[in-house]
Amino acid sequence: MRHLSIFANLQPERLVNIPFRPIVTKYKAGEALYFQGATANALFTVRSGIVKITKSLADGRSHILYLQSKGSLLGWDSFVEETYSQNAIAVTDCEVCRLPEHELNELRRSDLELDNAILHRWVDSMRKAENKMLELSIKKGPEKLATLILDWCAPYPPGTWVDLPLTRGELGETLGLTVETISRFLADWRKRHLISEQHHQIRIDNIEALEEIARR
């Protein structure tokens, strides 16, 4: 029963290693874990790699809601047994832990703490979502992109090369900007030595300047 308190403790690192029935699956970059509209029959946690959660309009325009990495929970539509309201697509090759809906509910029924943990997840994800709304509506291009880069690199020591396996298009789709706009901002910042790029890696060279851009 320990695995439930793992859930409850809200520690992503441990969530990734639930030692029971869920199935570990590998996805190659570009493959989908699930699509918008499909029956929501499983909950996922990411063990390694990056998964993008997108949502599309009928006319084909789409947006990246979140970029999920190790420890993230995806497919919470399955909590209420309906259909997925988003797409989940592997950005890089990744390893994912899949917990079928019936086992999920079995699990929930067997542990009182679990619902409390889910509550915390709720509050967490709502805050994340609301912060993103704020960003999307208030900030302009450079602010958004600088914020994303700073957040992305935040877990690493300053001045290190960080993998950034996203295309310009994907960056644009998470910020509500076009490929060209992203490309121009990055080109400009490279010229001004705020950042460097190499293969699919990025390095922040002048964090103060970037923070300045990010905050207004």
Partner DNA sequence: CGCCGTTTTGATAAAACTCAATCATCGTGG
Partner DNA sequence: CCACGATGATTGAGTTTTATCAAAACGGCG
**Residues in contact with its own copies by the rule CB under 8 A:** 55, 57-59, 61-63, 65, 76-77, 79-80, 82, 85-86, 115-116, 118-120, 122-123, 125-127, 129-134, 136-138, 175-176, 215-216
Q: Minimum distance between the CB of residue 119 and its own copies, rounded to whole angstroms? A: 5
Q: Which does 113 bind (CB under 5 to 8 A by kind): DNA, its own copies, none?
A: none
For 24, 44, 84, the CA distances from 96, given in Å and listed in that order, are 6, 7, 17
User: Which residues touch 137 (CB under 8 Å, ≥6 apart)?
Assistant: none
CA nearest neighbour of 210 among 155, 158, 161? 158
Q: Which does 186 bind (CB under 5 to 8 A by kind): its own copies, DNA, none?
A: DNA
Q: Which two tokens stand for residue 133?
A: 């709304």
Q: Which two tokens stand for residue 184?
A: 């121009």
CA nearest neighbour of 97 among 17, 23, 4, 180? 23
Q: Which does 169 bind (CB under 5 to 8 A by kind): its own copies, DNA, none?
A: DNA
CA nearest neighbour of 145 among 188, 192, 201, 200? 188
**Is residue 198 within 8 Å of residue 192, measured between CB atoms?**
no
Q: Among residues 100 and 176, whose Cβ is nearest to DNA? A: 176
Q: Minimum distance between the CB of residue 138 and its own copies, rounded to whole angstroms? A: 5
Residue with the two structure tokens 């396996």: 165
Q: Among residues 16 and 214, whose Cβ is nearest to DNA? A: 214
Q: Which does 85 bind (CB under 5 to 8 A by kind): DNA, its own copies, none?
A: its own copies
Q: Which does 61 bind (CB under 5 to 8 A by kind): DNA, its own copies, none?
A: its own copies
Q: Among residues 66 and 189, whose Cβ is nearest to its own copies? A: 66
CA–CA distance, 178 with 45 (Å, rounded to integer): 30
Q: Minimum distance between the CB of residue 138 and DNA, rounded to whole angstroms? A: 9
